[in-house]
Amino acid sequence: MRVGIGYDVHKLVENRKLILGGVEIEHDKGLLGHSDADVLVHAIMDAILGALALGDIGKHFPDTDPKYKGADSIKLLEFVNNLIESKGYKVNNIDSIIIAQAPKMAPHILKMRENVAKAINADIDCVSIKATTEEGLGFTGNKEGISSQAICSLIKVDNK
């Protein structure tokens, strides 16, 4: 078994869609980034890549490459999953958390879990997504940005 952790943060800005876990969420601001800035999926991808010491998303999807401008992070997660499968591994489980003062995430968590599970070819019960606020403290508490953390375990499925 291999284990990896991931962390990501993006600034909230006007005139951007807020996309988390592949779900577009109604909000007055969205996350700034080269891709769709899906901070949750970015943390999950970094956790998966880290478990096999394959670098981070910046290495695989650099923000200097125009082909990733506005990229759908769920599609990038599918690529990461194909990469680890090609090395003989699969995701055993993911535990993740979104840290945001607003908006409320609870109505969207199930769809986020479904999207991530589908992208990694896993059962939904292998994907945990939670959300918390920081009680008005720090940049997330001040509604300046959203961050996410993830941990995953990978299991070997063949002898590659």
Taking residues 129-157, report their average pLDDT.
Answer: 96
Assigned token pair, 83: 């990469």
Is the alpha carbon torsion for 39, 45, 50, 55 positive or negative?
Answer: negative
Q: Is the pLDDT of residue 126 over 80?
A: yes
Contact 6, 46 (CB under 8 A): yes
pLDDT at 45: 98
pLDDT at 158: 75
Q: Tell me if 60 is assigned to a ligand binding site.
A: no
Taking residues 10-16, report their average pLDDT.
Answer: 97
Q: Tell me if 103 is assigned to a ligand binding site.
A: yes
Please give the tally of structural domains in the chain. 1
Q: Tell me if 108 is assigned to a ligand binding site.
A: no
Condensed to tens digits (0 to 9), the pLDDT of residues 62-78 reads: 999 999 999 999 999 99
CA–CA dist 159, 88 (Å, integer):
7
Residue 159: pLDDT band with limits 50, 70, 90: low
Q: Tell me if 133 is assigned to a ligand binding site.
A: yes
Q: Tell me if 107 is assigned to a ligand binding site.
A: no
Q: Tell me if 123 is assigned to a ligand binding site.
A: no
Range of the domain at 119: 2-156
Condensed to tens digits (0 to 9), the pLDDT of residues 24-50 reads: 999 999 999 999 999 999 999 999 999
Q: Residue 40's domain is classified under what CATH number?
A: 3.30.1330.50
CA–CA dist 44, 28 (Å, integer):
25
Q: Is the pLDDT of residue 160 over 60?
A: no
Q: Tell me if 63 is assigned to a ligand binding site.
A: yes
Question: Does the predicted TM-score (pTM) go above 0.85?
Answer: yes
Taking residues 103-110, report their average pLDDT.
Answer: 97
Q: Tell me if 143 is assigned to a ligand binding site.
A: no
Q: Tell me if 56 is assigned to a ligand binding site.
A: yes
Q: Tell me if 100 is assigned to a ligand binding site.
A: yes
Q: Tell me if 37 is assigned to a ligand binding site.
A: no
